[in-house]
Amino acid sequence: MKRIIAVILTLSLLIPAAVSCAETQNTEETTAPAVTETPEVLEGADTTKAEELGFYDNPVPAPTRFDGEVIKFLYWSDVENPEFFVEEQNGEAVNDAIYNRNAKIEEQLGVTLEFTGTPGNNKNQKDFINKCINSTQSGADAHDFFCGYSMTGAPLMCEGIAQDLTQYEIINFDKPWWPASLISKARIKDGIYFASGDISTNFLYMMYCCTFNKDLFSSVHVQDCKVLYDLVDNQQWTIDKLIEYSTGVYLDSDGDTVLGTGDRVGFFLCGEVHYDAFYTGCDLYTVVPAKDGSVQLSDDLFSEKTQNVLDKLCAFMHSSGDAYLSTTNIFTTNQAIFTIDRAQITTKKLTSAAFTYGMLPVPKYNAEQEDYYTCMAFPFTTYVLSSASTHSEAAAATLELMAYHSYSSITPALFEEAMKIRYADASEDSRMFDIIRESVVIDLGRLLTTKLDNLSYSLFRNALAKNQAGSWSSMKTANSKIFNRKLGDINKELEKLG
């Protein structure tokens, strides 16, 4: 596990030459923090030790150049956060890191990066896919990359217009800028046809985490927040612990004797969509690759374990009085200790918070579970190398460099600037950020969900939202055949991959 963020935060002690700003106690400071990039390893240096610290050499050999070639990207223009390019530097850390990443790629490879935007979010994904298909028929004008909403990458693979990225030696999926589950859980016919990770800024923003109110936790439980970090480090941060520390927190603040937006609770969720994080956090999958290269329904979905998760969470969410679901966010107004949300909660909802907060991974099923697992919210980008690319080698080198420079400069910039603001324990929260990032799960069921009529997430989500744990077994009877039939249709399409 490469603790790159913790390394970045202490980099001034390790590499004095990288020191570029002084400490400040002014929390209202508006000057963007300096972006510290992972230094390249010098020739002859101990690369094993350097990699243990999170430092990696440039993955594309220096002589490699593709002078004059134009690498064309078709990207979803309604993406939630800047990711692909920015027009100019403006002093904001993430913005400038994106600008510098692209400039370095163009300089090193001698290529020009050309970006064309078109709407492609959840509502527009069908139009985006059609434009990608049309692009493959454009001859020399075809785009090299399709960079779309997460639900579009797998359908493009099914259309047969996505290249297998593993055929390019320059792309090394063992490096930390690519999620480990991309190899272990998203291979199709022993190939990888879409990729994401640090290369997608929105991938980092859309990681699910458990955010907690440090001030309220300490006040209610009369304990230092360190106990929560210790639980994570000791592999003891579980659903039971979340429930334990949420129990007894309820306070009828508005005096109306009814649980509502005016009260204090232990746990809060702002929308049913966030229920998905619990399923993945318990190391449960919906669709998995089969040995023959096809995709199949995971045994997890209708397992006894999933039933147990639903039983426990339904009782907690609907009967305990310690949890509350509403579209009015009471976590942001200092009325809840815990919430499950995307990492971008810090930039979208907590910029004016009157309390300090921290970040934890989504809790595990139990202490015996091997690790923590991070669910991805849907609005992140999958990168597909078009089958119609006329200079695929240059495109592959570009993809690897984009991922590398994103890992070494954009990721730390995003944490330092966008997710730092009110952390009281920077070193602790940076470690938590790394744990969350390194345990990201790429679930084929979620990426194929459009072709599955959203069954891959809606069954569990709806059962939890509607307090239907008791009818989960009947859900299996009603939906297994439908699910398997749709997977059969997908497998027929995958036969074209060889």
Closest CA to 420 of 488, 358, 331, 375: 358
| 443 and 377 Cβ atoms separated by less than 8 Å | no
Closest CA to 456 of 291, 318, 296: 296
The answer to whether 65-205+380-419 and 212-375+444-497 have equal CATH topology is yes
Distance CA 399, CA 377 (A): 23
For domain 65-205+380-419, the CATH superfamily is: Periplasmic binding protein-like II (3.40.190.10)
400: left (phi over 0), alpha (psi -120 to 50) or beta: alpha
Closest CA to 320 of 170, 432, 467: 467
The partner residues of 76 in beta bridges, in order of sequence, read 118
Query: Can you give the pLDDT of all 498 residues of the chain as single tens digits?
Result: 344 444 443 333 333 333 333 333 333 333 333 334 444 443 443 444 445 445 689 999 888 999 999 999 999 999 999 999 999 999 999 999 999 999 999 999 999 999 999 999 999 999 999 999 999 998 878 999 999 999 999 999 999 999 999 999 999 999 999 999 988 888 898 899 999 999 999 999 999 999 999 999 999 999 999 999 999 999 999 999 999 999 999 999 999 999 999 999 999 999 999 999 999 999 999 999 998 889 999 999 999 999 999 999 999 999 999 999 999 999 999 999 999 999 999 888 988 889 999 999 999 999 999 999 999 999 999 999 999 999 999 999 999 999 999 999 999 888 876 665 444 456 788 889 889 999 999 999 999 999 999 999 999 999 999 999 999 999 999 999 999 999 999 999 999 886
* H-run or E-run covering 267: strand 265-269
The Cβ-side half-sphere exposure at 377, using a 13 Å CA radius, reads: 23
Length of the chain: 498
Q: So where are the chain's domains?
A: 1-20+38-57, 65-205+380-419, 212-375+444-497
444: left (phi over 0), alpha (psi -120 to 50) or beta: alpha
Phi, psi of 490 (to 5 degrees): -65, -45
**CATH topology for the 212-375+444-497 domain:** D-Maltodextrin-Binding Protein; domain 2 (3.40.190)
The partner residues of 115 in beta bridges, in order of sequence, read 73
51: amino acid identity, one letter:
E
- DSSP letters, 391-421, are -HHHHHHHHHHHHHHIIIIIHHHIIIIIS-T
